[in-house]
Structure 1
Amino acid sequence: MISYNIFTLTNGLRVIHIPNNSDVAYCGFAVDAGTRDESENQEGMAHFVEHMIFKGTEKRHAWHILNRMERVGGELNAYTNKEETVVYSSFLKEDFERAAELLTDIVFHSTFPQQEIEKEVEVILDEIQSYKDDPSELIFDDFEELLFPSHPLGKNILGKPELLRKFKSNNAKEFTSKLYRTTNMIFFVQGNIDIKKVKRVIGKLTNDIPLLPTYKIRCKPLPYLPIKKILSKETHQAHIMIGSRGYDAYNDKRTGLYLLNNMLGGPGMNSRLNVSLREKRGLVYNVEANLTSYTDTGVFCIYFGCDIHDIDRCISITEKELKKLRDNKLSSSQLDAAKKQIIGQIGVASDNFENNALDISKSFLHYNKVEQPESIFKRIELLNSETLLDVANEMFSEDYLSTLIYK
């Protein structure tokens, strides 16, 4: 069972403290702001801000920021996705105050110096080009654009080069002034650090940050219409995505889809698609199934790469595996094996302290609570074959699936 403490400062900042006995600790800010919170002329702004907060504050230059944790063996990290931006540090427990002070400085006091913007935009442009050179990554973004046309959830996280070149300091300040507010974020800390120290340190560091409401408008996607699309990419290998919109993060059916997704193309080498496409026939090197749950929708997708001449055969085999799950209830032995496997995978994955801290921060940010592993296991154990059959027929129906092909 995960032990944790939560409290809220007078300025509205929620704090979660996860104690353990490790000498390595993690802390950071998780902000409820991602690419879906950008306006049309801001595409790429959330990711741009994530880069730029390391480039200067009211009291630090870029070098001082980068050197602050590195000189004691710690690390600074950040990532941006469609709904969150997370800025965090890993360090030895005695350096908690150093890490918390630095993170508070860059999250609330970044100046986004124009001379640094001009350099960092070039870095992001190189990142975009690198991404475009990897079709096995790019196709995931193009598939989400297929599922969410003309909606922020369908936009590329990295943004558009023509817009990035126009970004100025004031644009970044405007974005953060509206979304980087204490009422729209949480602070998390995991490690062998006393709760009294956490309260004292984070309270002192943020006592000058005002309590301000967050003005954020997220529009729901338009109704989903399945589509099939082929794009010419002149790649040596064909890349294929098959999938649909999935359940949102609050939908009880998500657990059933999670289990079916794991059976189809999870990390296990015994997944149905890996066995049927790779082990039995040698048609693909990599095949995987993935789920992403947003606050009001989701994505289910299957990805594989194959020889161009094998596209139709691979799609046909994939469709047959989906049809099996639609037409046939899992036997009790199949269901028990699937449950045992996914529970074991969750248990093994939970041994990673850094991933734990990030997962807990996301849960606390959106749900204001932490779901215990025992609770997740119980929801999995309660699944029955009838429920899974209903989910399979809803999610894997032929007329509900979209397909994107690079060839």
Structure 2
Amino acid sequence: MRYNTLTLPNGLRVIHQPAESPILYCGFQIAAGSRHEEPQEYGIAHLCEHMAFKGTKHRKAWHLTNTLEALGAELNAFTTKEHTVYYAALLKQYTAKAVEILADIVFHASYPESELCKEIDVVGDEIETFNDSPAELIYDEFENILFKGHPLGHSILGKTQQLKTYTPQMLSRFRDKHYRTDNAVFFAYGDIDFKKLVALLQKYTPERPADNLPAVTVPHAQITDTHAETITLKHHTHLAHVMVGSRSYSLNHPNRISLYLLNNILGGPASNARFNNMLREKKALVYNVESTHAYYLDTGVWSVCFAAEKQNVQKCLRLIHKELQHMCDTQLTDTQIKAAKKQIKGQIALGAESHEQMALDFGKAMLFNAAEQDMQTLCQRIDEVTALQLQQVACEIFREESLTTLIIE
């Protein structure tokens, strides 16, 4: 898979995948997320993302969104713990307008005070909606337990009362510190001329940050060792929502691909995943069970999540621990590992049909210098995984003495 890549004089990295499509997917990915916040700033990265659409030094809010949407484009953004993304999908003939508007939103947002109070109320509603959904809340609560005292532990959304203390000046300071060309990537997927794209970015993005500005760094707080513990939170729900897991590998850890394959075998999206086969198909204990892995720059999280009748929780947990122990004790056969690789490579190919997600993925890979930016490299690394490596990873990640269990009921 061929990419065009370049670093502009202002430090902005650019990655473009040519494609025979009338649709262009493009945007900025910035290494600025909730883990970059100081305690007195919790929730500010997400709030900056919301407020970026409320006006810039050059445009009113209505002009920002209507300029692209009037052309049939879709404009979107999201914030994670490690980065913020602003992107658009549109007809390729409107590339120049997309670059101009996206650059204005990212680098020139004005955060008008008249809009800030209203948007904090909107985010407050988002927080309450999230808190009312234990199936979503459990992921945040679980990471808060695993990373207690570490910047990765706190919620991306923040807390409403703290958000109400923020001013436009505080948002501007966070933006000026992190939304820098040398801390960002522009990604594009589509049938556009790369030289013209580069010229547009040179025209609409700022000059290189001053040399005397400190480099943007990720705060690394000490993460204490975890040990097996079970925590129960009372939310008075009909079903108990349960998560079991531990810290795992970072984004570029050599064992990451082995865990990726192992996770798919256990709790991937297919109905033949082992947890689904055991808990739903054979025992009818749950409607849905899945395992996931979240990779960060310096650590990661592996977990399995399910919801069940409260009287069935311990039975589900015993079955999960039994399967995890089996993966530690027994190597997959050649037939099993070949089937697992064939399945996950098919899933990857289907996922690549979502051009928007693929563009977001290779943009993120460049932002964080990930080992594989394309499907071919990923599949090659999957082919290199051995049964012994899978067993070794299982023994390291699935040790019962290091697994944390969170129950919301």
TM-score, structure 2 as length reference: 0.97
Q: Whole-Å Cα distance in 2 between the matches of residues 126 and 225 of structure 1? A: 33
* AA in 2 matched with 1:215: V
Q: Whole-Å Cα distance in 2 between the matches of residues 116 and 207 of structure 1? A: 25
Q: Whole-Å Cα distance in 2 between the matches of residues 337 and 31 of structure 1? A: 38
* Contact 2:36/2:82, CA 8 A, preserved across alignment: yes
Q: Whole-Å Cα distance in 2 between the matches of residues 277 and 372 of structure 1? A: 34
Q: Are residues 100 and 52 of structure 1, via their aligned partners in 2, closer, same or farther at CA, if it must alter by over 3 Å? A: same
Cα displacement (A) at 1:190: 1.3
Deviations 1:54-82 (CA, angstroms, capped at 9, x unpaired): 00101111111121111000011001001
Aligned match of 1:27: 26
Aligned match of 1:302: 304
User: Do residues 292 (structure 1) and 291 (structure 2) align?
Assistant: no
Residue 316 (structure 2) aligned to one of 300, 314, 317: 314
* Contact 2:107/2:206, CA 8 A, preserved across alignment: no
Q: Are residues 204 and 369 of structure 1, via their aligned partners in 2, closer, same or farther at CA, if it must alter by over 3 Å? A: farther
User: Do residues 139 (structure 1) and 138 (structure 2) align?
Assistant: yes
Cα displacement (A) at 1:221: 4.1
Aligned match of 1:10: 9
Map of 1:365-376 to 2, 5 A cutoff? 365-367=367-369, 371-376=373-378
Deviations 1:40-65 (CA, angstroms, capped at 9, x unpaired): 01110110001000001011111111
Cα displacement (A) at 1:19: 1.0
* Contact 2:181/2:205, CA 8 A, preserved across alignment: no
- Residue ranges of structure 2 left out of the alignment (5+ in a row): none
* AA in 2 matched with 1:203: Q
TM-score, structure 1 as length reference: 0.97
Q: Whole-Å Cα distance in 2 between the matches of residues 331 and 198 of structure 1? A: 49
Q: Whole-Å Cα distance in 1 between the matches of residues 4 and 310 of structure 2? A: 54
Q: Whole-Å Cα distance in 2 between the matches of residues 386 and 209 of structure 1? A: 48
Q: Report the secondary structure of 2:307's partner residue.
A: strand
Aligned match of 1:392: 394
* AA in 2 matched with 1:35: S
- Residue ranges of structure 1 left out of the alignment (5+ in a row): none
User: Do residues 276 (structure 1) and 285 (structure 2) align?
Assistant: no
Q: Are residues 158 and 207 of structure 1, via their aligned partners in 2, closer, same or farther at CA, if it must alter by over 3 Å? A: closer
Q: Whole-Å Cα distance in 2 between the matches of residues 215 and 358 of structure 1? A: 22
* Contact 2:361/2:373, CA 8 A, preserved across alignment: no
User: Do residues 361 (structure 1) and 399 (structure 2) align?
Assistant: no
User: Do residues 218 (structure 1) and 219 (structure 2) align?
Assistant: yes
Range moving further from structure 2, 373-382 or 292-301: 373-382
Q: Whole-Å Cα distance in 2 between the matches of residues 315 and 67 of structure 1? A: 51
Cα displacement (A) at 1:189: 1.4
Aligned match of 2:44: 45
* Contact 2:74/2:88, CA 8 A, preserved across alignment: yes
Cα displacement (A) at 1:360: 0.5
Cα displacement (A) at 1:176: 0.6
User: Do residues 182 (structure 1) and 184 (structure 2) align?
Assistant: no
Aligned match of 2:157: 158
Q: Give the number of aligned pairs.
A: 406
Cα displacement (A) at 1:27: 1.2
Q: Report the secondary structure of 1:304's partner residue.
A: strand
Q: Whole-Å Cα distance in 2 between the matches of residues 263 and 179 of structure 1? A: 38
* AA in 2 matched with 1:131: F
* AA in 2 matched with 1:338: A
Range moving further from structure 2, 201-210 or 98-107: 201-210
* AA in 2 matched with 1:400: S
Q: Report the secondary structure of 1:57's partner residue.
A: coil
Aligned match of 2:341: 339
* Contact 1:114/1:169, CA 8 A, preserved across alignment: yes
Q: Whole-Å Cα distance in 2 between the matches of residues 209 and 136 of structure 1? A: 43
Residue 381 (structure 2) aligned to one of 368, 379, 382: 379
The percentage of aligned residue pairs carrying the same residue is 43
Aligned match of 2:113: 114
Q: Report the secondary structure of 2:321's partner residue.
A: helix
* Contact 1:29/1:188, CA 8 A, preserved across alignment: yes
* AA in 1 matched with 2:378: I
Cα displacement (A) at 1:372: 2.9
Aligned match of 2:126: 127
* Contact 2:76/2:86, CA 8 A, preserved across alignment: yes
User: Do residues 193 (structure 1) and 195 (structure 2) align?
Assistant: no
Q: Whole-Å Cα distance in 2 between the matches of residues 377 and 216 of structure 1? A: 32
* AA in 1 matched with 2:299: T
* AA in 2 matched with 1:57: T
Map of 1:54-133 to 2, 5 A cutoff? 54-133=53-132
Cα displacement (A) at 1:342: 0.7
Q: Whole-Å Cα distance in 2 between the matches of residues 124 and 258 of structure 1? A: 33
* AA in 2 matched with 1:88: Y
Cα displacement (A) at 1:369: 7.2
* Contact 2:275/2:320, CA 8 A, preserved across alignment: yes
Q: Whole-Å Cα distance in 1 between the matches of residues 102 and 377 of structure 2? A: 32
* AA in 1 matched with 2:104: D
Q: Whole-Å Cα distance in 2 between the matches of residues 118 and 274 of structure 1? A: 45
